[in-house]
Amino acid sequence: VFGNLRINRTRLVDRIHQLGKIGALPGGGVSRLALTPADLAGREQVIAWMRAANLEVTIDGIGNVVATRKGRLAGRPVMTGSHIDTVRSGGLYDGNLGVLAGLEVIATLDDAGLTTDRPLAVAFFSNEEGARFAPDMMGSLVYEGSLPLEQALATVGIDKTTVGENLDAIGQRGPAPCGEPHVHAFIELHVEQGPVLERKGVTIGVVEGVQGICWRSFCLEGVSNHAGTTPMSMRQDAGLVMGQTIAFVRELTAKHPGIQLATVGSVTLEPNLINVIPRRARFTVDLRNTEGPALWAAEQAVIDFIRKAAEAEGLQLTHESLARLEPVRFSPAIVNQLELVAGILGHSHVRMPSGAGHDAQVLARCCPAGMIFVPSVGGISHNPREFTTQTDIEAGANVLLHSLLRLATVN
Near a copy of itself in 372-391, by CB under 8 A = 379, 381-382
* Residue 11 exposed, middle or buried by CB count within 10 Å (0-12, 13-18, 19+): middle
CA dihedral 11, 96, 363, 162 (to 10 degrees): -140
Phi, psi of 316 (to 5 degrees): -90, 135
CA 60 from centre of chain: 22
Judged by beta carbon, residue 368 or residue 375, the one nearer a copy of itself is 375
Judged by beta carbon, residue 155 or residue 193, the one nearer a copy of itself is 193
State the maximum Cα–Cα separation within the chain, in Å, rounded to a whole number: 84
SS3 207: strand
Note whether 112 binds a copy of itself by CB under 8 A.
Answer: no
Judged by beta carbon, residue 233 or residue 411, the one nearer a copy of itself is 233
How many residues bind to a copy of itself according to rule CB under 8 A?
A: 60
Q: CA torsion sign, 263 to 92 to 88 to 129?
A: negative
Query: What character string, x for contact with a copy of itself (CB under 8 A) and - otherwise, covers 317-356?
Result: -----x-------------------------------xxx
Note whether 312 binds a copy of itself by CB under 8 A.
Answer: no
Judged by beta carbon, residue 94 or residue 339, the one nearer a copy of itself is 94
**Closest separation between CB of residue 212 and a copy of itself, Å?**
10
Q: CA torsion sign, 380 to 381 to 384 to 386?
A: positive
**Closest separation between CB of residue 28 and a copy of itself, Å?**
18
Note whether 360 binds a copy of itself by CB under 8 A.
Answer: no
**Closest separation between CB of residue 384 and a copy of itself, Å?**
14
**Closest separation between CB of residue 260 and a copy of itself, Å?**
8
Instruction: Say if residues 283 and 218 touch (Cβ distance below 8 Å).
Output: yes
- Number of C-beta neighbours around residue 344 at 10 A: 11
Judged by beta carbon, residue 7 or residue 310, the one nearer a copy of itself is 310
Q: Which residue among 58, 211, 361, 388 contacts a copy of itself (CB under 8 A)?
A: 211
Judged by beta carbon, residue 45 or residue 284, the one nearer a copy of itself is 284
Instruction: Say if residues 97 and 12 touch (Cβ distance below 8 Å).
Output: no
Judged by beta carbon, residue 48 or residue 254, the one nearer a copy of itself is 254
**Closest separation between CB of residue 163 and a copy of itself, Å?**
23
- Residues 62 and 283: their CA atoms lie apart, in Å, by 36
| DSSP per-residue string spanning 43-76 | HHHHHHHHHHTT-EEEEBTT--EEEEE--SS-SP
Q: Which residue among 160, 233, 320, 411 contacts a copy of itself (CB under 8 A)?
A: 233
- Residues 323 and 48: their CA atoms lie apart, in Å, by 39
Query: What ranges make up the beta strands (E) of 146-211?
Result: 185-191, 204-210
Judged by beta carbon, residue 90 or residue 174, the one nearer a copy of itself is 90
Judged by beta carbon, residue 47 or residue 317, the one nearer a copy of itself is 317
Near a copy of itself in 237-296, by CB under 8 A = 237, 239-240, 242-247, 250, 253-254, 257-258, 260-267, 269, 272-278, 284, 286, 288
Judged by beta carbon, residue 171 or residue 258, the one nearer a copy of itself is 258
**Closest separation between CB of residue 354 and a copy of itself, Å?**
8
SS3 188: strand
> CA angle, 103 as apex, 82 and 183 as ends, to 5°?
55
| DSSP per-residue string spanning 323-356 | EEE--EE--HHHHHHHHHHHHHTT--EEEEEESS
Note whether 234 binds a copy of itself by CB under 8 A.
Answer: yes
Note whether 194 binds a copy of itself by CB under 8 A.
Answer: yes
Mark the segment that binds a copy of itself (CB under 8 A) among 33-41, 131-139, 224-232, 387-395: 224-232
- Residues 46 and 16: their CA atoms lie apart, in Å, by 10
**Closest separation between CB of residue 206 and a copy of itself, Å?**
16
Give the binding site for a copy of itself (CB under 8 A).
192-196, 199, 211, 213, 215, 217, 225-234, 237, 239-240, 242-247, 250, 253-254, 257-258, 260-267, 269, 272-278, 284, 286, 288, 322, 354-356, 379, 381-382
